[in-house]
Structure 1
Amino acid sequence: MALPASPSLRVSLRVLLARQRRRLRKSEAAFIALAAVAGAVAGVLAIAQQMLAHGLQSLFYGVSVNRLSALGSIHHPWRLIALPLGGLLLVALTAALRRRVPAPVDVVEANALHGGRIPATDSLAVSAQTILSNGAGASVGLEAAYAQMGGGAASLLGMWLGLRRNDLRTLVGAGAGSAIAAAFGAPLTGAFYAFEIVIGTYSPATIAPVLAASLAAVSLSHALGIAPYLIATTATPAFPLSHYLAFAMLGLACALLGIFIMRLVAAVEQATARLGRWTMWRPVIGGLLLIPLALVSPQTLSAGHGALHLDLVLHPTIVFLATVLALKIAASVVSLAFGFRGGLFFASLFLGSIVGQIFAAALGHVVPGLAIDPQDAALVGMAALSVSIVGGPMTLSILMLEITHDFALMGVVLLATLLSSAVTRELFGYSFSTWRLHLRGSRVRSPRDIGWTSDLPAGWIMRRDFVAVPADLTVAAFRAAVPLGTASKVVALDGDGRYAGILATAAGHASDVAADTPLAALLTLQDTAVARATPIDVLLTAFDSAIADEIAVVDDERRVVGIVTEVYARRRYFEELDRHQREIFGER
């Protein structure tokens, strides 16, 4: 039996930990080493999750690892009972977690709103639900769970060490990116995933730790015998201008399809939320709906790793590809809208490869003189559709480079991904993860840190020394109560003491206003007021919308608790913005 630590030992440990925290805050080298440790942990967690999900697929379907979607046909249809059974287990798991984890925080939301703080229970919940969903065969990928657990582990480590807000966000991004790097055996892809999708910026202060984490994760996965994800290409020496134009059209088509898929998932999800008492059983219903899709084509099962390789090797007909495309979209929509947990990262890669092959075949029929290689088109389609849905044009471009080692292909991939990204931003404005957060009422549109704006709400910067008058006064009574020079503006209150509007003192003393005029006739901003918790960026938008230089702050009963001025609010905003910009670029 271990003896309890003595008080002196506990004090020594606290002193040692405090010293290490100070060292991490001051030393860039120490922080890089910490990121490498977080990356190694994230890599191990990604591999473990992959093994668990594939173990479930082997148990349910009797297939070898990573080959579920590559089945030619379902030889034992009774095994598809795993889909509704997995949905039932997911219902039970979700019910068990509901009290402790009502709405798990994912890595993008954590870095955008919460300074990188992710509760351990949230990461475990997301991971368990995703592994069960993918293991049962639902059309969802594991990448969301990889990033969640990698970022969550890094968050716990950073919080334990008391890292600064920006350092913690960087460490969470490094953990999430290194998990993706380990899953694909692609360190640069993991690093750019961290920069573009989790942290939201590139800067000198983030490059070294993020790259160190990704390299540590991939090195460890290689040491454990995990093969990198690779696709052989035809090694085209160069592409003519006509091919660049063709691939630009493919990028545009992928952007439009990506927007359609994201909107379709949201529409079906909102429809299933109105099932009444059957709402909680959505995963079971979804599992039943997936069975006929899987019977028509097993390529609808799981994320599609095996099916992607199979289709690239066999070069199926355009009719077959179009059928699989429609079925896979339907399976992904059903899986996500009916409550299976996971993401569209790899599913979008698979769908993009199908779109690229269809595009190449169709282009050959429409323009006989313009023939593009179906495999090149598949790889470009993979990147372009994934960029539309997941975001991160450099992330997906680098992924294509790392899984093909084909530098010549990078030019057309970059063209298609940048075009797809630009069109998606212009017409839609969200990635799939931020779109779902938007539907939940979140202000998150990207991983850029906006959480600090909630740390500077209207209640913190308001003045409490305002002058208030009854709204039912006449102008004569107002002039007697508030002489010129007393206050520049006054707040008017109704008979119950609630906010009724704002009046400029000079307007009440204007010579062209009759003394018997009701004060209420001169009030402005009657419908414009903010709550104490209003973030400063929303407050500034309110100033612009109302064309006001002062706004009242009210409580839940619309009783005035203070006044905030535009001049002071903007000064505080730019002071905080400048401080955060310095932190991003490593200026302590």
Structure 2
Amino acid sequence: MPFARKTAPRRLMLSFLQRINEVRRQLRDQEAMLVVIAFALGGLVGLAVAGLHRLLLAAQGLLFGLPRDAALSALSDLPAWPYALVPAVGGLVLGIWALVAQRIRPAEIVDPIEANALYGGKMSVWDSLRLAWLTLLSNLSGASVGMEAGYSQLGASLFSAVAQPFRLRREDKRCLTSAGAAAAIAAAFNAPLAGAFYGFELVHGSYAPRNIAIIGAAVISGTLARRAVEPHGSLFHLPEVMALPDTLLPLFIVIGLLAALVGTATMRLVSVFERLCQKSRLAAWARPAAGGLVLGAMALASPQVLGSGHDSIQVHISQNWGLAAVALLLLGKVLASALSLGVGFRGGLFSSSLFIGCLLGALVAQLLVLALPGLPELRIPAMLAGMAAVGAAITGAPLTMVFLVLEITGNFAFTVGVLTAAFIASTVVRLTFGYSFSTWRFHLRGIPLLGAHDVGWVRELTAGRMMRSDIRRVPLHQPLALLREELPLGSRKYAFAVDEHDRYAGIIDMATVHDPEITELAEVLLAADCVIGADAHVFRQDNIQAVLDQFSRTQLEILPVLDGPATQRVLGSLTEAYCLKRYAQELDSRRSDEIGAP
């Protein structure tokens, strides 16, 4: 009986583990279960987005003394000048909070794009909560950024956290991370198509049939959850406007070209302000407060430079501002957005790019009407095209921005023009600047990423993982005759020479050692006389791309794997043929995962 009592808990534990493993197998083998999980989690993300949005509006109303139902960026002027100090005070709180958090956990926060590109969709929930909180603080302060970065970070990390314990395939984890970010964007804008393509274009980096149902379920659930909490409909209401003739298509081409210029300038300005802060020697924690003072001063002229700019878009759709006012506000919003990010406020340019594009479109329309007075109503279609074009230029996701503009306005009459402007803007930026805002930030941090395409497996497939350890080390001073005896012809193809400190000294081709033409000299020659490739080697942490580059440079068919640059001890060897085979196998495996092949 005592023995039975002792074994009962163990049996229960084994039974529990067996069930967990069975669930894991089902999740890996059945796509339908991943769809169900995505739908359930998408609803949670939608509710979280709705809750954060309400909290933001209520807190901004208190901090800035806004009238009931008024929005910060829709004001014509601040209720009183002391409210201009809110960005500075908020920046100070943000800076101190970020300083403390950095000392407690100094690691960089991994966003969904970086997670999918380098880490197979793995994200930290605690780091994501920290980023969401910093983004919320920045928006409460009135910084010219949006909450979308915080929303997508939370959504992606929630999906990632659920995926990790089930040990899903790498591609499935990447897909769920993309679905979480997509659900957040869909809920934020009540735009399921835009959310889905945000997941495809920005976070996953590709469009694959296997991902459609999973990401689709997440965005549908997220959108429905947001609609259940808040009234739904088009985010912006447009006046009735007649469709434009096809002869005015050049208008949208011009908007696309100008949007590329404005988008590139905005991204570069962020770096300019960062460098100015560094040169000023101002402490990092004080930079948001200093930037907040400048933002507050700008807000005294127009509060529309504050916040994400959503409500300002509706103001400019409903009211036709003068040419000079639109031009000044456009310049102010570009500077405010770049300054906010440059001094350390957290957030993204996703929302701000929509408002910048709206102003750019209005400006172009007014200039054309001045030059050609007989033109039809251009302002509304030009504003829609500008929103999509600047958004595409900054985010690098043209289809996402096109669907977003069409969904949030409920107007498809100008689809061709909006598509034209967005495609031209994104193409020009890609060919001239080469980065979207997210990849530009990676570039500045020294991370060579051009998107969310999965390149992490390349970093994980290292020389240390691929090498063969059954190698032969030969001292440089060993006589050739003795080496011939120890390693007869045919026993090994290569050996590796080492010096008296056991450091790598070169490759020894055994065919050369047994060359009949040097038989008479074998008694006087040493192993050092047959060494080649003394500077040809790889380290065990080098990834397969670096290894293949080294093979190409040295033109050798085998390379030693060393433990590190300090000791240079030979651990193993790699052949070029094997590395090429492994590389091709991994590529084929990734492609099969993407298309859902067995």
TM exceeding 0.5: yes
Find out whether 1:576 has 2:580 as its counterpart: no
Q: CA deviation at 1:115?
A: 1.3
CA contact (8 A) 1:262 1:432 kept: yes
Rounded Cα–Cα distance in structure 1 between residues aligned with 2:14 and 2:488: 63
SS, match of residue 574 in structure 2: strand
Q: Matches of 2:487 and 2:22 in 1, distance apart?
A: 59
Task: Verify: 1:113 aligned to 2:118, yes or no.
Answer: yes
SS in 1 for 2:538: strand
Paired with 2:300 and 2:479, the residues of 1 have a C-alpha distance of: 79
Cα distance per residue 1:247-274 (max 9 Å; x no partner): 1221122122212221221232244245
Contact 1:39–1:175 (Cα < 8 Å) also in 2: yes
Decide whether the 8 Å contact of 1:101 with 1:125 is kept in 2: no
CA distance in 2, matches of 1:415, 1:526: 57
Cα deviation, residue 76, structure 1: 1.0
Counterpart of 2:284 in structure 1 is: 279
* Greater alpha carbon shift after TM alignment, 523-532 vs 437-446: 523-532
Corresponding residue of 1:29: 32
Please state if 1:423 is matched with 2:428: yes
Q: How far 1:239 moved relative to its partner?
A: 4.0
Aligned partner letter, 1:403: I
CA contact under 8 A between 2:49 and 2:226: conserved in structure 1?
no
CA distance in 2, matches of 1:130, 1:396: 22
Partner of 1:442: 447
| 1:422-466 alpha-carbon deviations (Å, 9 max, x no partner) | 222222222211221222222322111122222211111123345
Higher mean displacement: 286-295 or 105-114: 286-295
Q: Does 1:409 align with 2:417?
A: no
Counterpart CA distance in 2 for 1:108 and 1:295 is: 37
Partner of residue 530 from structure 1, selected from 532, 538, 560: 538
Post-superposition CA distance 1:31-85 (Å, at most 9, x none): 2111101110111111122122222211210224561011111231111221121
Instruction: Report the Cα offset of residue 147 of structure 1.
Output: 0.4
Which residue is 1:67 aligned to? 71
Superposed, 1:30-429 pairs within 5 Å as 30-63=33-66, 64=68, 67-98=71-102, 99-100=104-105, 102-233=107-238, 238-276=243-281, 278-366=283-371, 373-429=378-434
Residue 137 of structure 1 aligns to a residue in which SS? coil
CA contact (8 A) 1:294 1:301 kept: yes
Please give the alpha-carbon distance, in whole angstroms, between the structure 2 residues aligned to 1:472 and 1:298: 79
Q: Is the deviation greater in 73-82 or in 94-103?
A: 94-103
Distance change in 2, residues 1:432/1:555 (3 Å): same
Measured at CA, do residues 389 and 525 of structure 1 come closer, stay the same or move farther in structure 2, by a change above 3 Å? farther
Mapped partners of 2:479, 2:167: distance in 1: 58
CA contact (8 A) 1:40 1:216 kept: yes
Per-residue CA deviation, residues 145-185 of structure 1 (Å, 9 max, x unaligned), is: 11011111111122233332222211111111111111111
* SS of corresponding position for 1:563: strand
Counterpart-to-counterpart distance in 2, 1:95 and 1:341: 14
Deviations 1:8-41 (A, max 9, x none): 7666555444443333223222221111011101
Q: Using the TM superposition, name which of 533-542 and 389-398 deviates more.
A: 533-542
Bigger mean CA deviation after superposition, 544-553 or 389-398: 544-553
Change beyond 3 A, Cα 1:462–1:227 = same
For residue 413 of structure 1, what is the amino acid of its counterpart?
V
Distance in 1, matches of 2:455 and 2:323, equals 46
Match of 2:3 in 1: none
* 1-structure distance, mates of 2:465, 2:90: 48
Cα distance in 2 between the residues matched to 1:325 and 1:474: 79
Letter in 1 for 2:131: V
Consecutive unaligned residues in structure 2, runs of 5 or more? 1-7
What secondary structure is seen at the aligned counterpart in 2 of 1:140? coil
Task: Kindly state the Cα deviation for residue 499 of structure 1 after the two structures are TM-superposed.
Answer: 4.5
Task: Work out the number of aligned pairs and report it.
Answer: 581
Corresponding residue for residue 3 of structure 1: none
Letter aligned with residue 39 of structure 2: A
Alignment RMSD (CA, Å): 3.2
Q: Distance in 2 between matches of 1:37 and 1:295?
A: 45
| Letter aligned with residue 52 of structure 1 | L
Does the residue aligned with 1:562 lie in a helix, a strand or coil? strand
Compare 534-543 and 322-331 and name the one that shifted more.
Answer: 534-543
Report the CA distance between 1:503 and its aligned residue: 7.1
Q: Distance in 2 between matches of 1:521 and 1:365?
A: 84
**Contact residue 402 and residue 422 of structure 2 kept, 8 A:** yes
Identity %: 38
Distance 2:465 2:165 in 1: 28
After TM superposition, give the deviation of residue 363 of structure 1 in Å: 2.8
Is contact 1:186–1:228 with CA below 8 Å preserved after alignment? no
CA spacing shift, 1:151–1:476, aligned 2, 3 Å: same
The alpha carbon displacement at 1:231 in A equals: 2.6
Alignment of 1:486-525 (within 5 A): 491=496, 497-499=502-504
Q: Does the 8 A contact of 1:55 with 1:135 survive in 2?
A: no
- Which of residues 567, 577, 582 is equivalent to 1:567? 577
Alpha-carbon distance change, 454 to 474 in structure 1, aligned in 2, over 3 angstroms: same
TM norm structure 2: 0.88
Q: Name the amino acid aligned to 1:554.
A: L
* Separation (CA, whole Å) in 1 of partners of 2:170 and 2:581: 22
Q: Deviations over 1:377-435 (max 9, x none)?
A: 11111111111111211111111221223223111111221222222222222221122
Change in CA separation of 1:234 and 1:470 when aligned onto 2, cut-off 3 Å: farther
TM superposition shift of 1:355: 1.1
My pick for the range that moved more, 397-406 or 487-496, is 487-496
- Change over 3 Å in CA distance of 1:137–1:467 after alignment to 2: same
User: Which structure has the bigger radius of gyration?
Assistant: 2
Aligned mates of 1:164, 1:171 — CA distance in 2:
11
For residues 269-294 of structure 1, what are the alpha-carbon distances to aligned partners after superposition, in whole Å with 9 as ceiling and x for unaligned? 24424554622321122212222111
Q: 1:485 to 1:303 in 2, by over 3 A?
A: same
Amino acid aligned to 1:177: A
Residue deviations 1:286-325 (CA, integer Å, cap 9, x gap): 2122221112221111111121211222111221111111
Cα shift at 1:527: 5.6
